Amino acid sequence: MAIGLDVGTSFIIAASEAADGIQYKEVRDAFIRLKATTPIAAKMMEKGLTGQKYFKDTDGSFVVIGQDAIERAVERHQSASRPMHRGIISPRERDARKILKFILGAVLATPVSTSEVVVFSIPAQPVDQDGEAFDTGFHEDAISNDIRELGFIPKALNEAEAICYSELEEDNYTGICLSFGAGMVNVCVMSAGEAILKFSTTKSGDWIDQMAAAATGEQESTVQVEKEGGSFTVGQEVKDSPVLSAVAAYYIRLADYTARTLANELMQSRALPTFATPIPVIVSGGTSRAQGFTTAFGSILQAQKLPFIIKEVRQAKDPLRAVARGCLIAASL
C-alpha cells in the first residue's frame, strides 16, 4: 500500500487509498513538554494524558504532541513549540528530530509489507535567503532516514510539484502551482508533466502572524487563531478589529511580494518553454483559504509582466490536503 505524506510546518498529513476514496490522517506539528516536580505528580500527570498523543522522555518529562499540545499550552498561557520552522526541521529546537520522528510514527502506523513506499513532500530551496545560511538538504535526509527506520521506502517529492499532480489532470499537467503554507510559499511550473522550475520564498502564513502581531502588540498565537477564524476579507479593513485589519493588509503585501518574485523568476528562467496556449495558475495551502485571497492574488499576478498568458487563477479543490493527495498519486505510479 502506497502512502503520500505532507511534511508541513504546521500540519503533517498522511494520505492512503481506502475502499471509499482517499483516507487522510493528520497531526498538528506542535508539542509541549510537561515536567512534574514529584513522582506522585508525574503519575497523576500521566493519568491525565490518557487518550492523548504523548511520549515519556528519558528525563521523565512528558512530551505532548499535536492539537492536544496547543490546548495544553493555551491552558498555561504559553505557546506550543514547533519542531519545524520555515518548511524545514527547526534549528531552534534541540529536540526537533525526536519529536518529528514520533509524529511520523503516529501518522504512518506500521507498514504492512517491506516494499511500502512513502512519498514525502520537501520544500524547494528559497530564492530570498541569500544572506542567511539556509539549506533544505539536511531536512530531506533526516526525514528520509526516519521514514526508513519506521520500515518504509522513502521517496522525496517537491511540495508544489505534488500539487501539480493533484490539480492539473484536466490541464494536461501544464500549469503553475503555488503552495501558500505556514512557513513558505512553494512554486512549481509544470509543462506536460515535467517540472521545469521549482523554488520557494519564506514569507507566508507565519509571516502574516508575525507582522500583524508586531503592528498591534498582540501575541502571534492570538493573531493566528483570529486569522484562522476567518471573519475578514483580504485587503479590507475590519471595523473594531485592529488585528484582523492588520492581517487583511499584510495578506495584500504577501500576495504582492509573491507575485513579484514569481514574475521575476519566470522572466529570468532559461529553462521555461514557450507556452503556446494560456496556462492555469493554482493556489493551495492553508494560507490560501482566506476569503478573497485567490481573487486578490489573481489580479496582482495579472498586473505583472509575464512570459505567457494566464488562463485563470483558481484554488485547489482541497487546499489543506492537495500536497498529501499529490504525493499519494506519485507513490501509486
Ligand X SMILES: Nc1ncnc2c1ncn2[C@@H]1O[C@H](COP(=O)(O)OP(=O)(O)OP(=O)(O)O)[C@@H](O)[C@H]1O
Binding site for ligand X (CB under 6 A): 8-11, 87, 159, 179, 181-184, 204-206, 224, 227-228, 230, 285-287, 289-290, 320
- Complex with ligand X: residue 4 or 286, whichever CB lies closer: 286
Q: Let me know: does 72 contact 80? Beta carbons within 8 Å.
A: yes
Tell me the closest approach of the beta carbon of residue 37 to ligand X, in angstroms.
34
What is the edge-to-edge ordering of all strands in the sheet holding 117-122? 21-28, 11-18, 3-7, 117-122, 153-158
- Complex with ligand X: residue 139 or 306, whichever CB lies closer: 139
Q: Let me know: does 267 contact 306? Beta carbons within 8 Å.
A: yes
Supply 190's cell numbers: 509544470
Alpha helices in the chain (DSSP H): 39-48, 67-75, 96-108, 137-149, 159-167, 205-216, 220-229, 242-268, 293-302, 322-332
Return d(Cα 149, Cα 26) in angstroms, integer. Answer: 20
- Complex with ligand X: residue 72 or 289, whichever CB lies closer: 289
Tell me the closest approach of the beta carbon of residue 98 to ligand X, in angstroms.
19
- Select from 320, 332, 328 the least CA-distant residue to 15: 328
Tell me the closest approach of the beta carbon of residue 308 to Mg ion, in angstroms.
25
The SS3 assignment for 29 reads coil
Return d(Cα 283, Cα 254) in angstroms, integer. Answer: 13
Q: Does 183 bind Mg ion (CB under 5 A)?
A: no
Q: Does 286 bind Mg ion (CB under 5 A)?
A: no
The interface with Mg ion within residues 71-130 (CB under 5 A) comprises none
Tell me the closest approach of the beta carbon of residue 59 to ligand X, in angstroms.
29
Tell me the closest approach of the beta carbon of residue 136 to Mg ion, in angstroms.
13
- Complex with ligand X: residue 258 or 287, whichever CB lies closer: 287
Q: Does 181 bind Mg ion (CB under 5 A)?
A: yes
308 half-sphere exposure, CB direction, 13 A CA radius: 21
Q: Which stretch binds Mg ion (CB under 5 A): 7-15, 21-29, 91-99, 262-270?
A: 7-15
Tell me the closest approach of the beta carbon of residue 215 to Mg ion, in angstroms.
25
Supply 256's cell numbers: 504582492
- Complex with ligand X: residue 117 or 162, whichever CB lies closer: 162
Q: Let me know: does 29 contact 11? Beta carbons within 8 Å.
A: yes
Q: Does 319 bind Mg ion (CB under 5 A)?
A: no
Cα dist from 330 to 2, 236, 245, 291, whole Å: 9, 39, 40, 31
202 binds, among Mg ion, ligand X, none (CB under 5 to 8 A by kind): none
DSSP, res 276: S
227 binds, among ligand X, Mg ion, none (CB under 5 to 8 A by kind): ligand X
- Complex with Mg ion: residue 15 or 64, whichever CB lies closer: 15
Residue from 4, 5, 8, 90 binding Mg ion (CB under 5 A): 8
- Complex with Mg ion: residue 154 or 181, whichever CB lies closer: 181
- Complex with ligand X: residue 84 or 306, whichever CB lies closer: 84
Tell me the closest approach of the beta carbon of residue 297 to Mg ion, in angstroms.
17
Q: Which stretch binds Mg ion (CB under 5 A): 3-11, 57-65, 99-107, 273-281?
A: 3-11
- Complex with ligand X: residue 151 or 235, whichever CB lies closer: 235
Burial readout 90-120 (b: 16 or more C-beta within 10 A, e: otherwise)? beebeebbbbbbbbbbbbbeebeeeebbbbb
| Distance, CA of 122 to chain centre | 10
Tell me the closest approach of the beta carbon of residue 45 to ligand X, in angstroms.
29
Tell me the closest approach of the beta carbon of residue 81 to ligand X, in angstroms.
15
* Residue ranges binding Mg ion (CB under 5 A): 8, 181
